Each structure stands twice: as C-alpha cells, then as structure tokens.
Amino acid sequence: MNPAKDLKDLRVDYGRDPLVEAQLDPDPIMQFQRWFDEASASGIPEPNAMSLATVDEQGQPACRTVLLKGLDERGFVFFTNYTSRKGKHLTEHPSAALLFPWIALQRQVEITGPVEKLSEEESTAYFDSRPRGSRIGAWVSNQSAEIPSRQYLLDRNEEFERRFASSSIPRPDFWGGFRVIPETIEFWQGGHDRLHDRIRYGKKNRTWFHVRLSP
C-alpha cells in the first residue's frame, strides 16, 4: 500500500448553499450562537470542542482540544490547570486562537484575540457545578507534568478520594478559567469546487464589521 497515494485520493466536494452576507447577523457572537445551536441540534459529538493554539516563550506553537464552557459578549471561556503547558503559555503570552471544526456540517469558526483569567468567583462557581469525579480529578492531575505510570495517577485519585470523603471539595488555587476576548471571528463554509465561503469579522472603533475573504 502506498499511503501517499491513498491520501492524495481522499477528496470530498462540499455542497452547501453559499454563505450570503445579507443573511449574517451583524454581531459575530450572535452569528456564532446561531451556528453553534445548529451544530448542537445536528447530533455531532461535543459541538463545544475547540482547538486552542498558544505559543511558548520561544514562540513555538502548541495546539490541543478544550471544551467551550461559557460564551457571552465578553468572549469564549474554558477551564484548565493554570500550571499546565497551556496555562503557562497563556500566562506568559496572553493571546490565543480557537477553532471549532464542525466538519460534518462543512463549517468551521476561527477566533483570535487576547486572553484574560476569569475572576476567582467565576472559576469557583463553575468548579462547584462539576461532577464530583471531575472535581477530584482537578486535584489529582498535575497537568502536563511527567508521571511514572498510570498506577501513580490511580493512587493519587484514591488519596484525594479519601481526603475529601467526608468534606466538600474546594477549588484548587491552581485551577480556573480563561476567557478569549475576540478580535477576529472567521466563519468558513464549504462550497463546490473548493470555492468556499469565508467571512471574517473584525472591530473598528469598537464596532464589528465583516469582509469576505478569498478561499
């Protein structure tokens, strides 16, 4: 088998109706919500899954998948261990890109902008809403650190299960939320013969505007 040959033959011709500017909401947050609701209703798994791109102090990029857990006019919210690789990246270089890859719908959305930490009150409110196992897991995992084995992780889980067996589980001070404040939001939709639609929103004088980009 020649993998390179097989890969070059993989091809899908997209066929959605064109994305017409007149049908778009002037507010990209509202337009995102519209697409997100359609993605949720479609039954695709975890429509709130998004790729998060960051850079380290040497400018080396990294990308991983996180889950959108909050959205309003201020921006896009997710939660993590602040001492993790992404947490350190965002603390040192508070800027990021997000990508929602709704491939089954022939759509994707990219967001770029600066990043801020959520308040302790916001992070605690979300932490307290999580299932017990997830709250324990936040204490168990020194995220991104090397560990000797999976058994080590299971042992730590048992340790914290015992510690919090008869008490509430507080939010660790090393765990909380980030908000990506959108400066650009680009909506991509597949079209016939690779003539895709790309509409990018930006801000001028605090007012959203949008332009069409060549695919």
| Distance of alpha carbon 173 from alpha carbon 167, whole angstroms | 18
Q: Answer yes or no: are the C-beta atoms of 76 and 179 closer than 8 Å.
A: yes
| Distance of alpha carbon 33 from alpha carbon 35, whole angstroms | 5
Catalytic-labelled residue, pool 132, 163, 194, 212: 194
DSSP-derived pairing of the beta strands 95-102 and 175-180: unpaired
13-52 in b/e burial notation, b at 16+ Cβ within 10 A? Answer: eeeeeebeeeebeeebbebbeebbeebeeeeeeebbebeb
Q: What share of the chain is helix, strand, coil (3-state, %, to 5)?
A: 35, 35, 35
| Distance of alpha carbon 135 from alpha carbon 33, whole angstroms | 28
Instruction: Decide if 156 is catalytic.
Output: no
Q: What is the CA radius of gyration of the chain?
A: 20
Which of the residues are catalytic? 194
